[in-house]
Chains A and B, each alone.
Chain A
């Protein structure tokens, strides 16, 4: 084989592989999109079609005009944004301590934070319900937000500490010499130049909070507190499956994370792999 025909063969092989992978990953999602535009009676039409004669936005309209479902979305947004903001603030403060101070319990707190990430959610769940009720947080936004922070904080702290460690100490020490407080050095010097790191933590945190299922199910009781993942599942539990509506809600429920990913890919992937890749 000449090197030219060999490279053509390699290239077509790569394209074939990519297309195969693209079908594996993308077709199910395409089907979700397609089903959301169908009439419920057409969902299992035989033979299946990607676009049917009943193509319409009816499922979306019915989601948007149902105040209960709109509330699921508002709840999800409110909880996810709150978790993101609070996680960022708390993690930045903690990461500052880890990155810029030596203190006696540093190692111990580090171990606890690492360990927490491995604790199975189901292990927490049994005592958690009673605890949340006792704290008067049952069926409230605060309950969900604080719970999600338990899961987002360890990772956020680790990532922010890693980011701060890449910034030279001289930066904030210079500010300290000029008489700035330690908090001032953090807030005015470190935070502004850490924006890329902060963005990747934010995107990741939002994603976890937006997607959480188990605790949202257990810690809320009324529809006005439910989030999107639970809302979709509730549609499934009723007498007949409203597939079109479930798929429309699924599409709408996936959009925020997809948008975040498309816009912040670079930060996202960079942040995600911060610990794995070492030069």
Chain B
């Protein structure tokens, strides 16, 4: 999931007696690419162009005639207090998720990379640690609805250790719903970081640590001066990808809180979905969808720039 850019390759060495390529031969690569090109134009480029067009029209889909209204839909959507709430919730949900994904992923990766334990123990734990990530989001949502039910096992455990007095309805409590969905998202997503960081840790040369040890560096100094700088490229790439994907998270929210209670877990994705498929305001929904698209593209540009800079 990390290799999102086609690796560039050094140009081939020119053959000595240079032949002028026949036009037909120049078309060969396009032939190999044609299935992808057709599919991407029809099912990706066309819908993106259509949604951008919708965002500048009035009453799209619901009425046969619609007229251009310029930026009107954007003004409406961006001025909607609910949109701002959704933007704020998305920002909190995304930033906390990404930060904790990174911390947990790094902690678990370092535990799994320790030389103190046997390979077999580590393989067993690695499999357990990865498991949340292998579950379908529909299953994750339902499982956590069961666990976080007021009568569920989490409430029982928390009451047992005295952290809460009465059972809590996590997903329908006004103040706890956003932390609860964020927690579930953290549970579901940290292995993505863990797996990549583990591979990164295994790639760090032992010489670096030995040199640091010779210099008398403490564990913390080795972590700050050897481990973190070596992992930096992975951390930045993963964090950008996670930002892109988490800010688009829809199914998990939809199947746990549905954006509620009230607007407390409304995200930009659920807000857009509801505008379109509950309120049938397709023009507004399109404007909101394009705003999301622009945000994603900005992050994608950062990502690509970063990858290019590394190459």
Contact = CB atoms under 8 A, between A and B. Distances in A.
B310 interface: yes
Contacts of A269: 195, 198-199
A48 B152 CA distance: 8
Contacts of A272: 1-2, 195-196, 199
Interface residues of A, number: 106
Contacts of B285: 126
Given A236-B142, A276-B2, A123 B29 contact: no
B13 to A, nearest CB: 9
A224 B46 CA distance: 29
A70 interface: no
B220 interface: no
A224 to B, nearest CB: 19
A265 B12 CA distance: 34
Contact of A233 (B107, B138, B187): B138
A28 B147 contact: yes
Contacts of A126: 51, 54, 276, 282, 285-286, 289
Given A114-B4, A118-B300, A46 B156 contact: yes
B293 A119 contact: yes
A257 B303 CA distance: 29
Contact of B29 (A103, A121, A154, A211): A103
B69 interface: no
Interface residues of B, number: 100
Contacts of A146: 39, 43
Interface in B121-140: 121, 125, 127-132, 134-139
A22 interface: yes
B304 A149 contact: no
A182 interface: yes
A130 B273 CA distance: 15
A21 B111 contact: yes
B297 interface: yes
A37 interface: no
Interface string A241-279: 001001100100110011001100100011011111111
A128 B272 contact: no
Residue in B139, B234, B286, B310 whose Cβ sees the most chain A Cβ within 10 Å? B139
A214 B248 CA distance: 12
A55 interface: no
A276 B149 contact: no
Interface string B183-207: 0000100010001101110010000
Contact of B46 (A90, A116, A131, A182): A131
Contact of B51 (A97, A124, A236): A124
Contact of B136 (A149, A162, A229): A229
A232 B120 CA distance: 35
Given A118-B244, A126-B54, A154 B7 contact: no
Residue in B7, B187, B303, B307 whose Cβ sees the most chain A Cβ within 10 Å? B7
A96 B9 CA distance: 13
A153 B36 contact: yes
B161 interface: no
Interface in A173-232: 182, 204, 207, 210-211, 213-214, 228-230, 232
A214 B252 CA distance: 10
Interface of A: 7, 10-11, 14-15, 17-18, 21-22, 24-26, 28-29, 31-32, 35, 43-44, 46-48, 90-91, 93-94, 96-99, 101-103, 105-106, 109-128, 130-131, 135, 146-147, 149-150, 153-155, 157-159, 161-162, 165, 169, 182, 204, 207, 210-211, 213-214, 228-230, 232-233, 236, 243, 246-247, 250, 253-254, 257-258, 261-262, 265, 269-270, 272-279
Interface of B: 1-7, 9, 11-12, 26, 28-30, 32-33, 35-37, 39-40, 42-48, 50-51, 54, 61, 107-108, 111-112, 114, 116-117, 121, 125, 127-132, 134-139, 142-147, 149, 151-153, 156, 187, 191, 195-196, 198-200, 203, 233-234, 237-238, 244, 248, 250-251, 255, 269, 272-273, 276, 282, 285-286, 289-290, 292-293, 296-297, 299-300, 303-304, 307, 310
